[in-house]
Every structure is written in structure tokens, then in C-alpha cells.
Amino acid sequence: MAERLFRFIVVLGKRESKLEKVAVVPGSFDPVTFGHLDIIKRAADVFDVVYVAVLNNSSKHPLFSVDERMSLMAEVTKDLPNVRIESSSGLLIDYAKEKNAKAIVRGLRAVSDFEYEMQITSMNRFLDETIETFFIMTKNQYSFLSSSIVKEVAKYGSDVRELVPACVERALKGKYGFAK
């Protein structure tokens, strides 16, 4: 009888255990900027596990390969123990389901971002209404920042130290032939 009661308590304890709050932060991250990193860090403060999904968008022609982007992302998030770096080339909602995520986290810089993100969120909601999208407003100092702008500035050898982590700056210099 005591053994049966013990098994019941163990099973009951498992049911009552706290479920992890899992989120996905998707993006092409070509390259990762301080703006991206800010959103990822803030998501990591809220969620137990954050999957950073480095997306392989076939309609874009990235400067960095998926492997290079994943490596850079791993380097800049190495101090965030609850962040996992992976890649995905399918639908974001399918990736989120695969990871048992209940949230997708997106950064917003301006009103123009909201309109685009609203369309994506609506489609994701249509595909699976159990996964919520959370928007995090970027800090003001990053509101102008995009990977495209960083690449354009770096392409001409200008200083991007205040826009990207040091390892990304080195990688950009290497890509554009400005490596020391």
C-alpha cells in the first residue's frame, strides 16, 4: 500500500512540475547586430528557453552562409545559457511547433515594421492559433539599425563597431577585404 501511494505521489509531482516557457526568435541575422542581440537578451530574460532560428530564405542572397551566421550568433550569445542557436528553412510556425514553443518573439523598430509583422503574425495565427507572437520594441539607439544598413556601411570600409559585436565586425571586414 505504501509503495502504491509513493508511486501516486511521484506521478502527481510530475504533473505539477513547472512547464518550460519556450520561445523562438527568428531572423536572417545577416549579420547579427546589437539591435538583434538586444531583442534576444530581453527574450532570454522572460522565457526559460529561447531558440534563435537563423532562417535560410531562398529569396534572399545573404552575405554570410547559414553556418557562418550560426557561428557568429553562437559567439555573441555564448553568455546566455538558455539560448539555443539553430537554423530553419521551412515555415516558422512548423519550426515553433517542433520546438514546443508557445511564443514567437519579434523586434519592432518603427511603425513600418509593424505593418509587415502584423501580416506575418496573422498568417502564423491562421496556421496555429496556440502560438502567440510577442513584439519587443527596440531600444531607441537601435531604431535605425538593420543588417542591410550595416552591410552597406561595412562594404565601404566605414566603422561599424557601435553597430555590431567585435566578432561580426571582423567577419564583415574579412568578407569585404578590409581584414588587417
Active site residues: 36, 60, 109, 147
* Residues in Cβ contact with 116 at an 8 Å cutoff, skipping those fewer than 6 apart: none
* Burial of 80 from C-beta contacts in 10 A (0-12 / 13-18 / 19+): middle
As a whole number of angstroms, the distance between CA 148 and CA 132 comes to 28
Which cell goes with 78?
A: 555564448
As a whole number of angstroms, the distance between CA 122 and CA 133 comes to 9
* Residues in Cβ contact with 49 at an 8 Å cutoff, skipping those fewer than 6 apart: 20, 21, 22, 23, 82, 84
Question: Does residue 135 sit in helix, strand or coil?
Answer: strand
